Amino acid sequence: MALLLRTVARQGLCLSRSQFGVLYRPAVPMGTAAKKEINKFWAKNTQLNRPVSPHISIYKWSVPMMMSISHRGTGVALSSGISVFALAALVLPESYPYYLDLIHSMTFGPQFFAFSKFALAFPVAYHSFNGIRHLAWDLGKGFKIPEVYRSGYIVIALTVLTSIGLAAM
């Protein structure tokens, strides 16, 4: 907010010096001015080696907070997994069925495969269901705090049930 006010004030100063002639700009060009400000902020503060105020180490963790970072965590993990799979497909000599048979022939019990399916399905399910929750927020729905918690618990419940269901298939 202060950033916005300072940028507008600067614009006002420029206009009074009539550099822009007749063209009056009512809208604040947030694109470059804000980015410049932010870069200047980070450059100055990292150069001065200023400590960052403790936030995640002192602020009480809440379910919405944990679900939010988990959404990011599962997203990054899944993306990395896809990339590893894709690069492996390019690099490994044999075909997919060959490697599947290789894993299948290894002396793991059925519990191992069931657990592995659960471990694969869980982040996919969580990210998908929480993604739907995010899309609901993007439509403007469900921002009241009780609603945030309720939708959060529903996402967790659906994730667990879906993962168990998929692992059992």
24 or 59: whose CB is closer to other proteins? 24
Quote the strand ranges of 49-167, DSSP E.
none
Q: In this structure, what token pair is assigned to residue 120? A: 């694969």
62 or 95: whose CB is closer to other proteins? 95
Rounded Cα distance between 56 and 66, Å, is 11
22 or 145: whose CB is closer to other proteins? 22
> What residues make contact with other proteins under the rule CB under 8 A?
23, 25, 27, 29-32, 38-39, 42-43, 46, 72, 75-76, 78-79, 82-83, 85-90, 95-97, 100, 103-104, 113, 117, 128, 131-132, 135, 138, 166, 169
63 or 103: whose CB is closer to other proteins? 103
How many of the other CB atoms lie within 10 Å of CB of 152?
Answer: 19
Min dist CB 138 to other proteins, Å, is 6
Torsion sign over Cα 106, 108, 110, 116: negative
